[in-house]
Structures are given as C-alpha cells and as structure tokens.
Amino acid sequence: MPSFSKQIRVYFSPEKKLHDSLRNILGFYPGNISLYKLAFRHSSAAQQIKKGVKDSNERLEFLGDSVIGTVVADYLFKKFPYKDEGFLTKMRSKMVSRAKHNQIAVKLGLNNFIEANNDRFGTKPSSINGDAYEALIGAIYLDKGYKFAQKFILTRIINVHIDMDEVETKEVDFKSKFIEWAQKERKEFKFETLVDGTTVPDKQFVLQLTVDNEVVGTAQHISKKRAEQMIAEQACALLEI
Amino acid sequence: MPSFSKQIRVYFSPEKKLHDSLRNILGFYPGNISLYKLAFRHSSAAQQIKKGVKDSNERLEFLGDSVIGTVVADYLFKKFPYKDEGFLTKMRSKMVSRAKHNQIAVKLGLNNFIEANNDRFGTKPSSINGDAYEALIGAIYLDKGYKFAQKFILTRIINVHIDMDEVETKEVDFKSKFIEWAQKERKEFKFETLVDGTTVPDKQFVLQLTVDNEVVGTAQHISKKRAEQMIAEQACALLEI
C-alpha cells in the first residue's frame, strides 16, 4: 500500500521533526503538540477561526506572560528575603522586559520555529521573538502544569540566560534605549516641552514625545530629566522596544 | 506547675484561635501559621527587621497579586476559548481590581484579622483589606503550592464572590469613580486642560488631574472625554481607589 505509507510519511514527518527539535530545546517531549505549534504562530500567519479571534499565539502569550511573572516573583521572594516589595517589583520588571524576552527567545533558538507572514509587515518587529517565548511558556503551563513550567523557567532560563548581578546593578536608561531604537529604525522623533517648568509657579515640566508625529508619551515632573525618562519609558512600553 | 501551664495557655491560645478561625474561612488548616500571621500584618503595625525591610505583608502581597493574576488568566483562557487576548486582558483587570479585592476581603471576613496601628494613619485606607487578601494568597501559595492556591481562588473566590456576567457587561467609568472617591474623602481636585485640542493643528488635548494640588495623572488624546477617562484611571491606580 504505497499511497497509505506515503500519507503517513507526509502527515507525520513535519510533526515528528518539530517534536524532536522541541525536545532538544526544552529538555522534554511535548505532550499536546498542537499547543506548541500555536505558540509559534504569529498573528500575521494566523487564520480567523471565529468572528474576532484568530488561531495566533496571542492568547497563549497573555497566559504565559502571567506565568513567567509569577515564577519570577516567587524566585525573587525567596532569593531576596530581606528586600522590600519595591525592590522585588523593580527587579522583576527588568527580568521580564520586552528586550529580555526577545534575547531569551533568540538564545533558545525559538526564532527558527516562528510561523509568520512577512508580506504582512515591512520589517519584522523584534517583539515577535519575545512574544513566542511567552506563548511557549503558556503552552508548557497548559500541557504540563505550573510546577513543570516553573522548573523550566528556573533551570533553563533564569539559571542559564539571566545574569542576576547585571539585573541588580543595571539602571535602565530609557531615553538612550529609545533613541538607539529610533535611529536604528530611522524614525523621526521629538522630545517636546509643552510647559516650561521654570516659567510656572509650581515648577512642573510637561513633556511629550512624538515618533513620526504621533504622540507616544506625555509626562510631568519638576525635573525635566526625570520627565524625559518617564516619557521614554512610556514609549518603550508602547512600542515594545 | 501553674506558671508553666499559664505560659502554655498564653503562648498557644491566640495561635490556636487564629488556626481555627482560618480553618473556617479557608476550608483547610494552615500549615505554616507564621506565613498567615504575616499576611495580616499591615506595614503600620510592622517592625523593621533589617535596614530597609519590615515584617509587614507587603512582600507577600507582591507575590499573591501575581499568583491571582495567573490563576485568573488561566480561568479566563479556558472559559472564553473564542475571545482574543484584548478581551481576556480587560476582563482580568476588572476581576483583579483594587475595588474587587477590597470587596472580596470583606466578604471573607479578613478585615477582622488585620493587624494595623491606627495611630499611624488618620483614616484607615480601604486598600488595607484588598492588600491582606493578596498577601493571604501569597501565604497559601508558599504554604501549600500553586495548585492548592488555584483551587482556593476558583472555588472559594471566583465561583462564590464574582458575578462574571456583571464583570463582562460592566464598563468602568473611572471619572465617576474618581469623583465619588474625592467627594467622600473631601479632597480638592481639578481636571485641567493644559493644551486645548481645538486650537492646535494635530487636535490633541493635554489634560492633567490634580488632587490637593498634586498631579495624579496626565494624558493626551484627540477626544477630551477619553483623555479625562485616562487621567482618572491613572489616578485610581495611583491612589488605589
């Protein structure tokens, strides 16, 4: 029955390959492979499955992002028993930043698995990798449970790919980060002072930041420098830099 | 040995009482009781245990808040298989709002357990209850694990205290919510238009909201109404309304 064997080959081959490749990256065999396939499907390559919802990785990303947040919260809680919640919050936001997740995704080699339709966007957004990482964690959580996902994040991500000393000491300079991005992407941007703090009684600066004439951040502070950092931080969050 | 028996009584009585009361509220006996005691200790009643950190419930609150977020994300992911991540995000933010957590805490009767020093604040902030609820979840998570905490949140909180139809249909009007709070607390507030959108070429309004002359929100939008909602939402988050 050559046609039957051919069918089997066609049907199982790519599935088997994904299965084995994932085994190498993850350190375990996936159970429900369809969850992992979904995790790597960017919305540009997704089909509408019902009005208002596509079979893209965005729902898994929502879930995985939260799971990572909890695992990291637990990790920091135990690692720093004498630090207050302000410190823990700040550390976590650095560990789960968009940039960090993009880096982790590339280090794991997830970018090779992503299914995207390049025709639908000009330059591929870099957040596509980080999104796939978050979605992958969502898939692991659903497939294997919280404890398993936790162990994966601790042993295969934090212990291997995150330099905790660097996270602890490094202050994020959002303005530089933003400008670097804008120059690389050849975007026009403007830090504008809407209210000059030196001319008003309560001494508050109001600043806004525009990218290609669209406002991406506004902030108000007695220090102009601080206000610049604040709007740059807003922009980084909004633009997923 | 009357003095010895007295010692035992003094030492064990309140502990035993807390143990039994918690059993009634939680549906299980706590393992590590000191975690639960910590969960109910507001920072006003806490001691400094090391430079920069107190034995208050704030660290547990950081952890518990994240655990609740993940459990709710999982719940919504499964309950709404055909809704996109935008819907899931919005639903979650309504389910885990400050106001919702305060309500839940009071319904569970957690307010009776809270250890706070009233002399340290004029009027007790209402968020004190919601904070204790979040810290309690942090304690359950550490004491019994994720699955246990998840089951507790699903069966004792979501199924009992959250009306999902109401959550789904209710739009939060932050401006009204903020004004209601300000009037109740007798705060002076001002919605100020810094830039009148009708007078500038790109038609963006810049608004700020002040409470007792402190800025609690700034926003920019082509619709003045939308900008008002945005700054009121910022204020609600900042002031934990």
Which residue is closest to B61 within chain A, CA to CA? A85
Residue at A113 is within a domain: yes
- The interface residues of chain A toward chain B in range 31-50, judged by CB-CB distance below 8 A, are 49-50
Which residues lie closer than 8 Å to A124 by C-beta, 6 or more apart?
A: A116, A118
Segment among A27-36, A118-127, B209-218 with least mean pLDDT: A118-127
For residue A7, the distance in angstroms to the closest alpha carbon of chain B comes to: 31
pLDDT at A127: 86
Note down the domain range covering B102. 2-169
A112 interfaces chain B, CB cutoff of 8 Å: no
Same domain for B75 and B40: yes
User: By the 8 A CB rule, do A197 and A222 touch?
Assistant: yes
Q: What is the CATH number of the domain that holds B89?
A: 1.10.1520.10
pLDDT at B118: 75
By annotation, the residues of B acting in catalysis are: 65, 134
pLDDT at A40: 96
Residue at A2 is within a domain: no
Q: Mean pLDDT across chain B, nearest whole number?
A: 88
Q: Is A165 annotated in the active site?
A: no
pLDDT at B3: 52
Beta-carbon separation of A58 and B84 below 8 A: yes
B141 interfaces chain A, CB cutoff of 8 Å: yes
Beta bridge partners of A191: A209
CB contacts, 8 Å: A62 with chain B? 73, 77, 85, 88-89
For residue B62, pLDDT over 60 is answered with: yes
Average pLDDT over residues B50-71: 94
For residue B97, the distance in angstroms to the closest alpha carbon of chain A comes to: 16
Beta-carbon separation of A206 and B218 below 8 A: yes
pLDDT-derived band at B1 (thresholds 50, 70, 90) equals: very low
pLDDT at A1: 45
Residue at A120 is within a domain: yes
* Domain closes at, from A169, A197, A224: A169
Same domain for B181 and B220: yes
- The dihedrals phi and psi of B54, each to the nearest 5 degrees, come to -115, 160
For residue B2, pLDDT over 50 is answered with: no
Residue B176, judged by CB atoms within 10 A of its CB (0-12, 13-18, 19+), counts as exposed
Same domain for B180 and B85: no
Residue at A1 is within a domain: no
pLDDT-derived band at A11 (thresholds 50, 70, 90) equals: low
Taking the C-alpha atoms of residue B146 and residue B160, their distance in angstroms, rounded to an integer, is 20
Residue at A144 is within a domain: yes
CB contacts, 8 Å: B195 with chain A? 194
Same domain for A137 and A192: no
For residue B173, pLDDT over 70 is answered with: yes
Token couple for B50: 């090391």
Taking the C-alpha atoms of residue A84 and residue B59, their distance in angstroms, rounded to an integer, is 6
Q: What is the CATH number of the domain that holds A213?
A: 3.30.160.20
Taking the C-alpha atoms of residue A51 and residue A48, their distance in angstroms, rounded to an integer, is 7
- The dihedrals phi and psi of B51, each to the nearest 5 degrees, come to -55, 120
For residue B185, pLDDT over 80 is answered with: yes
Same domain for A119 and A183: no
pLDDT-derived band at B123 (thresholds 50, 70, 90) equals: low
For residue B127, pLDDT over 80 is answered with: yes
Average pLDDT over residues A164-171: 88
B67 interfaces chain A, CB cutoff of 8 Å: yes
pLDDT digits (tens, 9 = 90+) for A97-139: 888 999 999 999 999 999 998 776 555 667 899 999 999 999 9
CB contacts, 8 Å: B74 with chain A? 63, 141
CB contacts, 8 Å: A88 with chain B? 59, 62
Same domain for A99 and A74: yes
* Domain closes at, from A148, A169, A190: A169
Same domain for B194 and B159: no
Question: Which amino acid is it at B21?
Answer: S
Average pLDDT over residues B209-232: 88
Taking the C-alpha atoms of residue A64 and residue A62, their distance in angstroms, rounded to an integer, is 6
Average pLDDT over residues B64-91: 96
Same domain for A164 and A77: yes
* Domain closes at, from A140, A169, A198: A169
Structural domains counted in chain B = 2
A147 interfaces chain B, CB cutoff of 8 Å: yes
Q: Could you give the count of Cα atoms lying within 13 Å of A86 in the half-sphere of its Cβ?
A: 3
Residue at A228 is within a domain: yes
Token couple for A152: 């994966």
B202 interfaces chain A, CB cutoff of 8 Å: yes
pLDDT at B190: 92
B195 interfaces chain A, CB cutoff of 8 Å: yes
For residue A44, pLDDT over 70 is answered with: yes
Residue at A96 is within a domain: yes
Same domain for B103 and B217: no
Same domain for B100 and B188: no
pLDDT at B23: 92
For residue A20, pLDDT over 80 is answered with: yes
If one counts every other C-beta atom within 10 angstroms of the C-beta of residue A77, the result is 21
Comparing A137 with A11, the larger pLDDT belongs to A137
Q: Could you give the count of Cα atoms lying within 13 Å of A35 in the half-sphere of its Cβ?
A: 20
For residue A18, pLDDT over 50 is answered with: yes
Comparing A149 with B116, the larger pLDDT belongs to A149
A237 interfaces chain B, CB cutoff of 8 Å: no
User: By the 8 A CB rule, do B46 and B60 touch?
Assistant: no
Beta-carbon separation of A220 and B208 below 8 A: yes
Same domain for B143 and B196: no
Average pLDDT over residues B103-107: 95
Beta-carbon separation of A62 and B204 below 8 A: no
- Choose, from A58, A134, A143, A228, the residue flagged as catalytic: A134
Same domain for A144 and A56: yes
Query: Most A CBs within 10 Å: which of B66, B127, B142, B213, as the mutation test of the A interface?
Result: B66
CB contacts, 8 Å: A69 with chain B? 66, 69-70
pLDDT-derived band at A172 (thresholds 50, 70, 90) equals: confident
- Nearest CB partner across the interface for B50, out of A59, A82, A142: A82
Average pLDDT over residues B14-19: 80
Residue by residue, DSSP assigns chain A as -HHHHHHHHHHHHHHHHHHHHHHHHHSS--SSHHHHHHHTB-GGG--EEETTEESSTHHHHHHHHHHHHHHHHHHHHHH-TTS-HHHHHHHHHHHT-HHHHHHHHHHHTGGGT-B--GGGSSSPPTHHHHHHHHHHHHHHHHHH-HHHHHHHIIIIIIHHH--HHHHHHPPP-HHHHHHHHHHHTT--EEEEEEE-GGGSTT--EEEEEEETTEEEEEEEESSHHHHHHHHHHHHHHHTT-
Beta-carbon separation of B69 and A66 below 8 A: yes
Beta-carbon separation of A77 and B62 below 8 A: yes
pLDDT at B10: 45
Q: Are strands A205-211 and A189-195 parallel, antiparallel or unpaired?
A: antiparallel
pLDDT-derived band at B124 (thresholds 50, 70, 90) equals: low
User: By the 8 A CB rule, do A43 and A56 touch?
Assistant: yes
- Nearest CB partner across the interface for B73, out of A63, A77, A202: A63
For residue A68, the distance in angstroms to the closest alpha carbon of chain B comes to: 9
